[in-house]
Amino acid sequence: MKLEQASMQGIQAWARANPQRLNEMLNTNPSFVFFRALPDNGGGPLQRARRAARSGRSIARRPARRATPVRRCSATTHPNSDKPLRRLVLAQDTGGAIKSAVRADFFWGFGAEAGAHAGRMRQRGEMWALLPNGYVPNNSSK
């Protein structure tokens, strides 16, 4: 698969076209994610910050030691579009696949439209953390 085809939709198409290799592909990444069913809270899934994720307003990043307001700005666009994506979001969670401190996963929400956006999201962007006056951040990337 070419890099430009590596989206959720591209991977699904590859899996449908190569069912005999699906287990091989799924077993190449040793990371695991565990889920548990929770009652419907009327919002999104619970994040590390023990708050419901908000569609279009929550991100996961590394590190996320506390819920930190983050401004997503000008260099980011909607998937496969030039339409700007500029908004205040809250870093509420960490992502298992996030290996860099300068990357985030945007929570689009639920349903087919949200899934289509999430599967195609690969944009570069800029983020600024909003911190209280006098706060000195730890330079550790852990």
Mean pLDDT along residues 122-140: 75
Q: Which long-range contacts (CB under 8 A, 24 or more apart) does 119-122 make?
A: 119/7, 119/8, 119/9, 120/7, 120/8, 120/9, 120/79, 120/80, 121/79, 122/7, 122/79
Task: Provide the residue ranges of all domains of the chain, joining segments of one domain with +.
Answer: 1-30, 43-129
pLDDT of residue 109: 85
Residue-level pLDDT at 71: 53
Average pLDDT over residues 75-91: 83
CATH label, 43-129, candidates 3.40.50.970, 3.40.50.10070, 3.40.50.300, 2.40.40.10: 2.40.40.10
Residue 14 three-state SS: helix
- Would the pLDDT of 16 be above 90? yes
Give the pLDDT score at 68: 59
Per residue in 104-119, pLDDT tens? 888 888 888 888 888 8
136: pLDDT strictly greater than 60: yes
| Predicted pLDDT at 19 | 93
Q: What is the mean pLDDT of the chain?
A: 76
What is the percent of the chain where pLDDT is above 70?
69
| Residue among 142, 116, 138, 117 nearest 129 (CA) | 138
**pLDDT of res. 49:** 61
The structure's pTM equals 0.65
Report yes or no: 47 and 93 within 8 Å, Cβ to Cβ.
Answer: yes
C-beta atoms surrounding 89 within 10 Å: 21
Q: Give the whole-angstrom CA distance, residue 118 versus residue 134.
A: 36
